[in-house]
Amino acid sequence: QLEKGVDGLFDSFARLDSRISSVGQTAAKIGDHLQSAESQRETASQTIDLIKYLMEFNSTPGDLMELSPLFSDDSRVAEAASIAQKLRSFAEEDVGRHGVTSAVGSANASRGLEVAVANLQEYCNELENRLLSRFDTASQRRELSTMAECAKILSQFNRGTSAMQHYVATRPMFIDVEIMNTDIQVVLGDDGPQADSSSIAEGLSILYKEIADTVRKEATTIMAVFPSPNEVMSILVQRVLEQRVTAILDKLLIRPSLASLPPVEEGGLLHYLRVLSVAYDKTEELAKELQSIGCGDLDIEGLTESIYVSHKDEYTEFEHASLRQLYQSKMAELRAEAKQQSESTGSIGRAKGASLNTSPQQLISVTVVTEFVRWNEEAISRCTLLFSQPTTVAANVRSIFACLLDQVSQYLTVGLDGARESLNEAAAMRDRYVIGTSVSRRVAAAAASAAEAAAAAGESSFRSFMIAVQRCASSVAYLQQYFSNTISRLLLPVDGAHPSACEDMGSAVSVVEAAAHKGLLQCIDTVMCEVERLLSSEQKATDYRSPDDGAAPDHRPTNACIRIVAYLSRVLEVAFSALEGLNKQSFLTELGNRLHKGLLNHWQKFTFSPSGGLRLKRDITEYGEFVRSFNAPSIDEKFELLGIMANVFIVAPESLASLFEGTPSIRKDALRFIQLRDDYKTAKIASMLNSIMSE
């Protein structure tokens, strides 16, 4: 029975729990309904208030005196701003909708809401100004919490743009005239616009660091005050670059006139280009620093480029003009030095033929070419700094390098032509003192003395030209090294740029080589003229005949041979050191051929006895040993054949046939030389030769 009582008790508790649960669910539903009803009541109340406020704004155009206290209570500014924005949005939407759908049936309604729109606009403007004024006051007092409160409320007006722009515009760096004047003083110092680029670079570094520090401090305030700090930073950085930085650059980068170039003494065009380079470099550094501080979504790289776009558009033209100005100035300087040196020699120098002894330093200097390359290298560094697109870089680099090619080609060609002029003057001196045979002894002695002077002038001009050629070769090698080390890597990324530049360089070098080739041929003429003079003056008719006094034959080289070999050894010493490679090989080969031909023609003026033939062979051996230093196998072979051919004067007449059998290649020249034997007629060698030829 006790168990039955317990079971009944549990049943009662179960029913009670079920009842309580049912009552709870009912209460929850009632609560939901009540909450919903309260929410609807609040919404209805807010709607009634909004309609009431809208009616107030819709009353009289321009009358804001009868508005509810809410709209004039400074403690409820945030609420007033929120409500005003809601009313304005609703009214503008309604006016816009009715203005499109029905211009007649809703005319009255639209006109009424238009009054509300106008009044709300006026109120919002007034409220925004009040908030900005409060924001300014708080800003001056550094009350960040008040500033943040105002900024938050102002963010409801056009997303806070006016507040952000107002804050940035009122920064001291944008409105303080003293700061702006100090900026340019920091950059230029006491030198003003004539300050050198390194001083300007240092000044910009100092100024830009101060600007970056200022922006960094402002960023701290902006992060604490504004709901959208990134947008404010974007406006601030843009204003810094467009106003403060641009104001400095406008005073720094004054573009010269290409029609009237600034004097080189005042820096010339190069000064502008150097300032442009350092300003661009430092501004880029500043842009990167500002980006690291924060600049929102601002395209700071594009903005920085836009500041310099006008300068970059005309950069190549200015760079070319600057390189031309530098070249012209250098040439004027060298001409002035040459004139001064010429005047310092005076009449004494001219009497001694100073015009023929033009110093090669006046004509060609590797140092000058090095200076050309240094100008170009500096220009290329500016080009690669200002431009980054490979195609643009390659195009500009090629055009700048073309300026160097023109400079080097022109300078070396003019120098070689100047050196050739001294060769021409020496040739004119030789021609001036050619005399006939029927002259007095005194005239002949004077002519001989003049010929010696002409020979000395020729030798001096030969040396000068060889030194000029040597310096040309060094200059071209330096140019080619510069191309390989600096220019090539900038052109290779762009198809066709490198081969085109190689063609340009090849054309420039070929012009120099053509001028050098002309001079080298004149050098050979100069040498051969002196060889012919020595042969004419020193070679005696008795050199190749038997002594009349019965003395033993002289087997030493003739005096003419000794003098000529000594002359060639002396004059060609500079050629051996000045010329290299194919230039040296072709020059010595041509000289060897001319020497061989000249000697052949010369010896045909003499008759030879057997002892004279031996002496001739001694001369040929002497000449052959000298030309062996040419390292030209074809020349060595010709002089070896000359030695063999000299045997026609030594062997007995009946042995001549054996000479042709051994070396048939000398037959033609040997037949001419046989006629120079002193026994040609007495030994009846002519008939003997006829029988040889018939065989």
pTM above 0.75, yes or no: yes
What is the phi/psi pair of residue 166, to 5°?
A: -65, -40
Higher per-residue pLDDT: 153 or 609 = 609
Please, what is the average pLDDT of the chain?
82
608 bridge partner residues: 677
Q: Per mean pLDDT, which of 82-91, 438-447, 531-540, 670-679 is the most reliable?
A: 531-540
> Mean pLDDT across the stretch 232-250?
93
3-class secondary structure for 243-283?
HHHHHHHHHHCCCCCCCCCCCHHHCHHHHHHHHHHHHHHHH
Above 60 in pLDDT, residue 347? no
Above 70 in pLDDT, residue 46? no
pLDDT at 62: 53
Q: Note whether 78 and 134 are within 8 A (CB).
A: no
Q: Note whether 425 and 464 are within 8 A (CB).
A: no
> Mean pLDDT across the stretch 3-12?
70
Residue 657's pLDDT band, with cuts at 50, 70 and 90, is: confident
Q: Note whether 168 and 136 are within 8 A (CB).
A: no
Q: Note whether 169 and 135 are within 8 A (CB).
A: no
* Residues forming CATH 1.20.58 domain(s) in the chain: 377-529, 539-693
Higher per-residue pLDDT: 624 or 450 = 624
| pLDDT more than 90, % of the chain | 46
Higher per-residue pLDDT: 28 or 524 = 524
Q: Per mean pLDDT, which of 180-189, 434-443, 631-640 is the most reliable?
A: 631-640
CATH entry 1.20.58 includes domain 539-693: yes
pLDDT at 349: 45
Higher per-residue pLDDT: 435 or 638 = 638
Above 60 in pLDDT, residue 111? no
pLDDT at 341: 80
Reference 131, options 146, 112, 110, 111; nearest CA is 146
Cβ neighbours for 353, distance < 8 A, ≥ 6 positions apart: 453, 456, 457, 460
pLDDT at 372: 97
Above 70 in pLDDT, residue 32? no
> Mean pLDDT across the stretch 331-339?
88
CATH entry 1.20.58 includes domain 377-529: yes
Cβ neighbours for 230, distance < 8 A, ≥ 6 positions apart: 294, 296, 297
Q: Per mean pLDDT, which of 282-296, 439-453, 547-561 is the most reliable?
A: 282-296
Q: Note whether 200 and 278 are within 8 A (CB).
A: yes
Of 91-95, 173-177, 491-495, the range with the lowest mean pLDDT is 91-95
> Mean pLDDT across the stretch 438-460?
75
Reference 536, options 422, 444, 614; nearest CA is 444
Reference 627, options 671, 576, 579, 553; nearest CA is 576
Higher per-residue pLDDT: 68 or 150 = 150
> Mean pLDDT across the stretch 507-516?
95
Q: Note whether 645 and 670 are within 8 A (CB).
A: yes
CA distance 142 to 135: 10
Higher per-residue pLDDT: 111 or 611 = 611
> Mean pLDDT across the stretch 170-181?
84
The 10s digit of each residue's pLDDT in 673-684 is 888 888 888 878
> Mean pLDDT across the stretch 440-455?
73
